[in-house]
Structure 1
Amino acid sequence: MKSAISDLSVLVTDDSLTQRQYAKELCQDLGVSSLYDAANGVDALEVLDANSVDVILIDLEMPIMDGVELIRSIAQKKLNSSVIILSAKDPILIASVGTMAEADGLHVIGTFQKPLLADVLQCSLLRFIQDSKVSAEPKKANDNEVTALELSEALANRDLTLAFQPKLTTQGLLLRGVEALARWRHPTKGMISPAVFIELAERHGMIDALTHYLLEEAFKHKRSWQQYGLRFHLAFNLSPLSLADADLVDWLCKMANDYGIAPAEVTFEVTENALLGELASAIRTLARLRLKGFHIAIDDYGTGFANAQQLSRVPATELKIDRSLVHSAAVRPQQKTILASTVDLAKNLKLTTVAEGVETEEDYKILLDLGVDLVQGYYFAKPMFPDDLLAWVKTGLSQLRKQQEHK
């Protein structure tokens, strides 16, 4: 292990001479032979301009240019160095800076509170070595890997389908709507994850074609349900890329009119990360959709970087709280506090709250206590194909209510 570490070059950036010397000694004890040091961000950038450095230890509190500014500069310069972030501040702050660095595209191999320990440093350097080996290895073909051509053919052959997951009132478990979820069963590769083929569609300019096809399928099913007297809402996900399409709103209105769908019974879901792109363009499209009577949901809230100010700019009607905030909140006090504050925020913004990814009775009880409006998840019902959904509405829903009454 030492021999592998000895091949690394490390830059220690800290305004404290004592701390710099201490970190360098730790590196030397582990066998690092190529060592640099800097007292602030400006000095560090000069070192990086003149030398190839594998790993940078960055103290957050420094004069002239602090650690946060240095991290941003490293990202902007697209330097290949990996970073270890250090501070005497609280771990939550350090972790937040680590998240920021990763969002900027940097490889973060550790975020630690001072003082830096020898075994922690060793693990981080070994992680860098392992990650470097993995990234250098040629990627093996995945049996389930699909190409843009295969997706294009699937669209042409109408091979993609939709499953629908119920959205229920937290109080009383009444059916209020369903979310349409794309499904693709490849003839030889089996089920392809939506995360794979939707990203593929976005990367290869097929997202509009995919959206048009799937929404038309969703509207066909909703029209069919209406003929049975079922008027529950339909939720449908829109890609952030679609929000830049100037013709999208007019097309959606035409589709709703052609299929006899009331806009007030349709909710378009967009992820909070969509707010980080072309905000003006996104809000323009969302505002027009609201003016036409459609509902707007901010999806996966809690996984990105949206804040209350950004949410207040968006003409949303609904906030979907991600599973990561919901699951295990009953046994994690800090998480429960964050969940409760998120629910309060949504209520103050006059947004309907929907908790997704509900998987346990404990999750459900917490959401009930917090006054969340709607729930969605495997604890109540998995995504179902249309015929299965109708059968569930007829019998499964009443059985679910009876089960809850006896708990």
Structure 2
Amino acid sequence: MGKLLIKNGTIIDVENGVSFVGAIEVEGNTIKRIVKQDEELPEVPETIDVKGNYIIPGLIDMHCHINEGFAPHFVASGVTTVRNTAGNVLLLHNLIQKPDYAPTPRVYTSDRMIDGPPGQWGGTSYGNFVTDDPEEAREEVRRQAEVGAKFIKLYGWIKKEVMEAAADEAKMIGLELAIDLINSKELTALDAAKAGVTWFEHASGFAQEIYKGWNPLVDQVEWSHINWEEPDQAKVKELCEKMLTYNVKICPTMVLFDQAMSFPNIWSPNNKVIESIEKKKHPVEYWKSHEEIIGVIKESNAVINTLTKAIAKTYYDMGGTVVAGTDTPALMYTYPGMALHRELEIFVEIGFTEIEALQAATVNAAKSINLEDIGTIQEGKIADLVILNKNPLENIKHTQDINLIVKGGKVYNQNEILRSIPSDEDVDRLMQAFMEKWEAEHVN
């Protein structure tokens, strides 16, 4: 990578909430210098004039499940880093090893999730590990650390003593734990926080703590006296105060529930990224299969939808860490990359300012997982930038109006990135090769 100068753009300093016209000098994959408007510009062979445009850091989706088949869609949407919450480190090896400037996102990932029997996604496989044995959980945590997991993901049917053992082992290794308690029958968010779990995906487990005895699998008629559309704010605040003492972090993934509850009137703006996604076999066939059970999906998510929003805003207002994620490609039309823009819209709809929403997908997201070289536009940081046609501080929807993307110092337009998307057949072959190798090594 050579040298690059991006001049005359309005640079948005997401950390301090200010913006100014200036230039960004890039050398290799790194921001070498921020040049203010009244300073002399360096002579650089490749110069891009972005007068009238706005520059933000590359966005970070803090909860997704990435696949090589739609990985470029993230970058085409301005999402240059993703936090992959459960899957398989070895399956993602090719993506993880890509150079900084590749048109696929940087991947910060866990390995397979650790669940309790019988396993919400079935028995032990390449994507989940099912056990009720605390020592087996410890061994699995150690194995995941060895293969390169950046954090450990627990799932909602895990037993309390198994969760505590995994948390203890992860703490000794220096890895954070995340948990999804949406369908938990026994554990609550407070139980997990006390055990040492740091990350609460979907703000899950809060409902089980606020309404003891409730979970999505019990007879909901018994709980019909609760107005789920208007959460008990006093109870939400009381629990958030307790959770704050454990310094937990929340990724609410509100777009996940919003798309399901809005169906068939889903958020689906007309743009080239979504047009490209809709041509893919996966995840479109997966989404369409869920249309057949949309009634069940809506019923199970009705409780979570409004409560999650109340938790996210309350916890943030108390000073807690709340970041932006999507759970792409889960449930209904959580478009890879683009869904994060809808998540930012929802942040603003529930009372965050535009800059606060941006921070949830940039500086605050990066800080929450100690990625010190991304998340802001500063000298010495990796040159991940999104150049927008309109000001996102005036309207958060303007994050969707993308002119150019800079990934690890390389400039792309959306069409260039979308041309790099592998075919469904190539993705199927990669998956088949992985599965053959996995089964040969792990299936007796």
Give the TM-score normalised by the residue count of structure 1: 0.35
| Greater radius of gyration (CA) | 1
Structure (1 or 2) with the greater helix fraction: 1
Relative contact order (C-alpha < 8 Å, sep 6+): which is higher?
A: 2
